[in-house]
Structures are given as structure tokens and as C-alpha cells.
Structure 1
Amino acid sequence: MPNNHHLKVCGVSLLFIAASLLSACGSDSDNNDNNPSRYADDSLWLCKPGIDNDRCQTVDLDVTLVDPDANTSVVTHEIADNPEFDCFYVYPTVDMRAEPGNTTDLDDEQPMLLPLYNQAARFTQMCRVFAPKYRQMTIGSYTLESPFESEFFQMGYSDIEEAFDYYLNQNPERNFVLIGHSQGSHVLIDLLKNRFENNDALKQRMISALLIGPTNRLKVPEGQRVGGTFSSIPLCEADTEVGCIVAYDSIAQGTDRTATSAPRPCVNPTQLGGTPTIAANTIYDRNQGIPFPDGVETNWIGYPGLYSADCAADGFLEINTTPGRNTLFTPQLIQLALNQASAADSGGTLHRADFNILMGDLLRIVDTQAANR
């Protein structure tokens, strides 16, 4: 994958030779000043500390929790005051055009906001969230023979790499978590390969990478934690481990699917310091396209301990209702509703709810990992 940094050449004339010898060709920060990133433009960020209308700061994330006895309580979302680390988020495919190509209208934010609110915004309770817009490839681009080698994927990747470089330049000493879903995870996989594998300094700053819903693009040899896609970045096996990857593709238990020759990587978040196999808190959005109960005034509803989660032999994270819990929100019903509401083919899985189902565990894991970096 080519690195998209522009090569800089210092022009030197006889008139200024003495000054040139003293100052050489300038520092990286000088170059950044002379050739400012497009991402210095606040309009290219959905979330970034200090911008007007930071969408992660303005959305109402208060949630109504429903306990096993159907008692309810409202929990107010509190944004962390002066958090010690950052979260860099890349949203999934929101351009649902059937023809291969790229998003060109980055002013139309509405399609970007649903995944942002359901996946990244809640992390503001512990980190500063940076969420760049990017010229992602359309859903139709995935029908190409080699979509990740296409010019369309490369354009989206180059945007995110530029946004990440801008973030690094502005925040040279802060640790961070990488968060992505679907195409966002695909882009972050390439960012990790190109920029982290041989860069110990960057790896030291990375708390973890949540590569959620990678749809089998992430490859790790069966029974191993490292190898395949990455030679030096392992899958996480504890919530106290840092510099590692959390990745899974969720599916309702009992869903038929085609057998694969090798299982996809599956890191079960419930096994990383939580209650094994029990999802800590599942949080759904009123605007997500699923049935929403009457009488709930918040835009979010949460079900602690409602679902079980187990890695199946083929690597899918199978979701089922916890034994003894009665609910209309079975994962099988949620999967059906989400796939009917989506313009994209989710392959008959829980892809669009990957974050929602394990949100409580993901928040807990990142919080613990950050304390151990």
C-alpha cells in the first residue's frame, strides 16, 4: 500500500545559501505548516474537541435500562471531563449506491450520524472522540473482484490516513484507541499494516484497536493470536492487555450460513474481564429500525444481561437470549428487523448491531485497557 505522504523538496538559491545551510530543509511541523492538511478544516470532522457542533458532544445518549424483572431506570450519559486518552473512529459504509465509486458529498452528514451515535459517541464517557469524514467507497464497490485493491477503496483509505496524520501532528503525546466498523474496520486494518506494524512508537501509544464487524477481512491462523494479516499485533485475550485487537462478527444463534474453510477471528468481549458469555449491557437506538417499546421516553433502551455470546466453530460470535429471560427483543427478531430495514445486504447477520449488543463490554474493556497503558 503506498504511503500518501507528499515528498518535500527544499529549493535553494545562491542568494539564500547561507540561510539554507543554517536551517536545512525544515522540520516536519514546518512542512505541515507550509502544506496544511485538508483535515485542518473543521467541517471535515463529525467529532473533534473544540469544533462547533461536535456531534459526539451534542447528541442525547441518556438510556432507559430494563432489568430482568422489567423494572426501568434512566441513566444519564456523562461526558468525561479532561479525559486522558483519545478515540479515533472510522464509520462503516453509509453510501448505499449500487454502482462502484466514492462518496463525494461530505456535507450530507445524516447517513453518518446513525452509526456514529450507535458506535462511537458513547465512548465520550472516557475519551475524546475524533471522527473524520471520508470519501469512502460505495456499497456497490464491494462487488468488484478485488475491492480492497480498487481506486475507490484507496481514496477512502488515503483520506483516513491523512486525518490520522493530522490527529498525530496535533496530539503528539496522547495515547489512543482505534475504533471502526465494517468498512471502517477494513480501512483501519490497512492503517495498522502500513503505519503500525514497523513503528514501535505508534504501537506504544495504541491502547487497543476495536475492529468490529471486519466481515472476515481480518485473518489470523486458527488457534493463534497473531499472524496472517498482522505479524506483530495480536488479538486481545484479557482486558488488561494493551496494544491488541478486539474483533468479531455477530450473528443470531441458529442462523444458517455457508461453511468456510477457515474460521474467522473471534474475540468474545464477555471473556475479557466480564461475566463470561453474558453481554453486560445491550443498548438499542429508537432510530435504528427495530421495534421500540411503548412508554420509553429516552431515545435509547438498555438490557443488561439479556443476551449470551459465544464464539462458534466458524468464528462467528453467536448471540442468543440468556436462559430464563423473556423478551420480545430476541436476537433472531432483531436480526430480521435490521436486515429488513437496511438498504444493504448484511448477509443475514447481526452486522448492523455488532456494537449495540456488546456495548457494555466494549466500554468496560477500553476503560480497563486505558488504565493499563
Structure 2
Amino acid sequence: MNTINSARFRDLFAFGGDQATGYSTSGDVLVNQTADGVDLASLWTQAQTAMQMWNQKRSALAALISYPTVAPGDAIPQSLGGDHFEEASEFGEPTGLRAEPNALILGYTYTDYDIASRFTWRFLRDASAEQVRSVIDRAFEADNRLTTGNILRRLFDPTQGSNEFSTPVYGLYNGTDGMIPPPYAGQTFPPENSHYLVSGNAALDPGDLLDALNQVRSKGFGVDGNSQLVILCHPNEGELISTFRAGVETNGIVSKFDFIPSASAPAYLTPENIVGKVAPAEFGGLPVAGSYGPSWVIESHYLPVGYVTVVATGGPNSSRNPVAFRQHANPSYQGLRMIPGRDQRYPLQDSFYARGFGTGVRYRGAACVVQVKASGAYDVPDWTWR
């Protein structure tokens, strides 16, 4: 993070230095405050402070499905558990634990991004502090859009790529790249096993959710107390899911589970009794709409309409989450950075916002995406409007 000593910065920005050494004096300063009397140096300091807080609270949706790392890649087992004790013998030695035989080399991309804010001195002279802050707020929003959007794109896109070290960067299992999920709990999987499904119906039905849940659980994810299954969807799909009832047909498919509103739901009347614990009001900083079977339903307008995804999450920024969020190994280049431009006496006049990161799937079986579509192959969502 580029930081500036506030006292030294104020001297340079508002009052300058000794004229004999080539610096402007206080009388030569073009503008040092906004039209409503707010000191420009204090606005810069406030922006730096806000930037530090912003970096500590990355988007809750992105954090729920990702894990921060500085590694360009990892060797990660694609199934959980599998080791067994053996009966001890008097003279023999026990079998040693070996490196995981099903560990997969997974790469993570890395790209630098930037955007600038530029003000003329006349604009700063006549603008209010709120007008200046609004531009900084837009940079924060753009950063959130960039990071969250790229993490979701990686989850919803089966396309394989590579990073700068030519290490393969994967999506979830797609059934076309020759990668077969490792056996789990006595189950083996065919080469065409994919975690990108098409509903085969023009509307979402309970069978779509059950198929996605089974795909994730059959690989060993979301079946223990260390992770939680969540259904992430747009509110349009969330509204339909809230109508699913066990034994009741929806869009031609009978539901196996009831949708149960969460603890934050408005009061409602029901002739039936709820058995068991209801879903919490929020999880990882996100509101929970309710539960469906072993999963919690979380809605977000940031998710694409016509898609639902089931994710086994260990919680915000957990190492068990399916997507890696790679940052630079040097802490100075991590997070969103605000950098003064060419004339550091007037940093607000020409400043840069920089962010460097990349993504890649860590656990290819820890999530499953369903596209609501009557027929055809899976289509990657259109993210251009986000």
C-alpha cells in the first residue's frame, strides 16, 4: 500500500516548500480546498484510510466461495479422507502415510488491473467534498465488481486455461477434459461426469437442486461438520425455490425436501410443525433466505438469472472453498491500492487505483452449476452487464 506521511504530505500539498529550491510557496498553490471548505489533503488521507478498511472486507459473496493465496498453483487432493489404520502385528511395521495419490496440480492466473481518477484544479476549486468522494466510491464499487465478478466467472465457466508458468487452470469437473473424479466412499465416476448441468426444463424444479446436491456430496464435499452446503441463486430462482414442498409436484417433479424459511424470515402461519433447527438469519455476512434439505439458500442480484449453483463452503476465506483468489507474493502489492500520480503535491488531481489478482478452481468437485434450459449444452453466463 502506498502511504504518505500526513504531516509531510500536507506541507507539500497545501503549502509547498522553499521557493529557492524550486517548490511553490503557499501563495502559489492553485487550490487547497473544495468549494465547501474541506481541505484536499484531508480528503486524500480519508481515502487512504477507507482503502485500508475496504481491503479488510472483501465482498462477502466472493469470500464465501474463495480462498486467498499468494501461490501460483497448488497440488490439492480432489477427495477428502481415504486413509485407514491397519491391524497391528507383533513384529511388523505399520504402513506409512504417503503423498496423496489423487493430488491434482492446479494453477491460478494473475493479472494487473488499474483505473484512474483525474480532476482539474478548477474542478477541485468549485466542487464539493461529496462530489470528490463520489469518484472514490465509484473506484471502490468497480473493484468489488472486478474481484467478485472474476471469482464467479471462474466458478461458472468450465473453460480450461493456464497461468504464466503454463500450469493448467481448471474450472469444475466438466466431463470433456479427460479428468475423472477420484473414487469416494466406494463410488466411482464415469469420464463424462460433469458439474455443469442443464435442467432439461424451461423452469427450475426440485430435481435440479437434488441433482446438484448429489453431485457435490457424492465427491465427499459438504458431508461433514467442516463445511456447509449453500445454494446460491438470483432472487428470481430463490422465489421459486421457496415454494418447494416435500411430496408436492413442481414443474413436473416431486420435491424430496421442504423449503424452510430462515430465522430472519417474517412471521408466518403454518398448519405444520417444523422439526429440527431452522437456518440462521445470515451466514458469512450474507442473508440466508431459508434451507432446502441439507443446504442453505442464499440469494444475490449479482448472480445470473437462470442459473443456480450448489457450493460446499468452509466459511469466508476458508481453505476448503472451491475457488482460489491469488494475490501478489509481496504484501505491498496486495489489495486495492491508491497511488498518487505524477505530481504528488496534488495527488487527488491525478491518482491511480491498482489491483492485481487471479483465480482458479481448487476443488473441482466442491460445487455444481445448473443452467435452467430446456435442451442443449451448458452455456457460460453473460457477465457483460456486471
Q: TM-score, normalised by structure 1?
A: 0.24
Write 1 or 2 for the structure with the bigger share of strand: 2
TM superposition score normalised by structure 2: 0.23
